[in-house]
Amino acid sequence: MTDYYEILGVPRDATPEQIKKAYRKLAREHHPDVAGADAASEERFKDVSRAYDVLSNPEKRRAYDLGADPASPGGGMGGGFGFQDIFETFFGAATGGPSARGPVPRARRGQDALVRIDLDLAEVTFGTHREVPVDTAVVCPTCNGTCCRPGTSPRTCEVCGGRGSVQRVARSFLGQVMTTQPCPACHGFGTVIPEPCTDCSGEGRVRARRTLQVDVPAGVDTGTRIKLTGQGETGPAGGPAGDVYLEVHERKHDTFLRRGDDLHATVSVPMTAAALGTVLTLDTLDGAREVDLRPGTQPAQIVALKGLGVGHLHTGGRGDLMVHVDVEVPTSLDDEQSELLRRLATLRGEERPEARLAAANPGVFSKLRDKLAGR
């Protein structure tokens, strides 16, 4: 590369004033009107002018100091040559560039799909089988994924000879280098489709509705995702299918409230039944079950029915059904009922009961119990 500093006779750290002063001196010496119209003087004057044009411009000088020659026909970078070309040239094999991988496969993997599925409490408790319709891409039945009209086939690209890439020579501060780029004719595939399939427009796939058969395990919850491998859309040119993710959304139940794998329900019983004890029949997800209330059952007391909750997703078994007792206090009594209660209060020494303050700051489980009981 031409040394412009040497032509002007200045050091590489010369100031703009020094460069201008040196140029004026040399320009006067070699100007054709002063030195004569000989070829050597004219060429020398052109070199001096070219050197000053580069070194007097901050951007050109910076590029020149980095190894480029802004005064050259290609700007020193070979007509658009850049650092990306350098990496593709020298590190293509390491980065998987076109020179390393050859033609790009036309068939590519399809995208994944996310589908919401709504389930009832009974379905997430016991598990269920569902048929889920999805709109997706499937292999074109006409061309079978070849992208070509039946009876035709892909043709080797005449521009790149099937390599999928083309090479060109570029100039850089490293000298002349060979760069590799995807073939503009075949877009790197190495082949062209002379007669595309009319049904899929040369994509090798078409849109269609499919029905997926899904076994939903017990214990799933809102937000749980079920992966169906290879059930997503088919890739271009009949490429491998992506996956389908079913995202569960559990519908709210009218009676039961789910907490983890346990179910919670509230039953209301008369004050007399809570005091004397009774057996209730409760409709559960497993059918009718008896709930034994012992004499003296207190408001907000919980009776656990083991194994009647939601199935455990990973470990098997089931949670429990937690029955919260709500004791109903009568608000309307006739004279006979009032007299009976007064006699009971007298027998129990409760005509004028003393007020007892409840303990403050109930624990976490007490708070949850009160909330579920509607307090």
Consult the annotation and say whether 148 binds a ligand. Answer: no
Residue 283: CATH number of its domain: 2.60.260.20
- Does residue 266 share a domain with residue 286? yes
Instruction: Give the per-residue pLDDT at 286.
Output: 96
pLDDT grade for 45, boundaries at 50, 70 and 90? confident
244 pLDDT more than 70:
yes
Consult the annotation and say whether 197 binds a ligand. Answer: yes
Q: How far apart are alpha carbons 92 and 101 in whole angstroms?
A: 9
Average pLDDT over residues 21-31: 83
Q: Is 143 exposed, middle or buried, given 0-12, 13-18 or 19+ CB atoms closer than 10 A?
A: buried
Q: Which two tokens stand for residue 80?
A: 């658009």
Amino acid 182 reads P
- Does residue 358 share a domain with residue 342? yes
Q: How far apart are alpha carbons 106 and 120 in whole angstroms?
A: 44
- Does residue 363 share a domain with residue 242? no
- Does residue 301 share a domain with residue 279? yes
Consult the annotation and say whether 147 binds a ligand. Answer: no
| Residues in CB range of 373: below 8 A, 6 or more apart | 266, 299, 300, 324, 326
- Does residue 263 share a domain with residue 232? no
- Does residue 342 share a domain with residue 273? yes
368 pLDDT more than 90:
no
- Does residue 246 share a domain with residue 162? no
Q: How far apart are alpha carbons 25 and 36 in whole angstroms?
A: 16
Structural domains of the chain, count: 4
- Residue ending a domain, among 65, 81, 115, is 65
- Residue ending a domain, among 192, 212, 244, is 192
**Side-chain-side CA neighbours of residue 20 (13 Å):** 5
Q: What is the pLDDT of residues 338-360, one digit of tens each?
A: 999 999 989 988 888 777 776 66
Residue 56: CATH number of its domain: 1.10.287.110
- Does residue 202 share a domain with residue 90? no
Average pLDDT over residues 302-317: 94
Q: What is the pLDDT of residues 191-223, one digit of tens each?
A: 999 999 999 999 999 999 999 999 999 999 999
Q: How far apart are alpha carbons 147 and 153 in whole angstroms?
A: 8
- Does residue 206 share a domain with residue 124? yes
Q: How far apart are alpha carbons 340 and 261 in whole angstroms?
A: 45
Strand partners, 167: 180
Q: What is the pLDDT of residues 138-156, one digit of tens each?
A: 999 999 999 999 999 999 9
Consult the annotation and say whether 183 binds a ligand. Answer: yes
- Does residue 237 share a domain with residue 114? yes
Instruction: Give the per-residue pLDDT at 362.
Output: 53
Q: What is the pLDDT of residues 51-76, one digit of tens each?
A: 898 899 888 888 787 777 776 654 44
- Does residue 344 share a domain with residue 318? yes
- Does residue 347 share a domain with residue 296? yes
Range of the domain at 235: 106-149+198-252
Instruction: Give the per-residue pLDDT at 245.
Output: 96
Burial 240-256 (b: 16+ CB within 10 A, else e): ebbbbbbebebeeeeeb
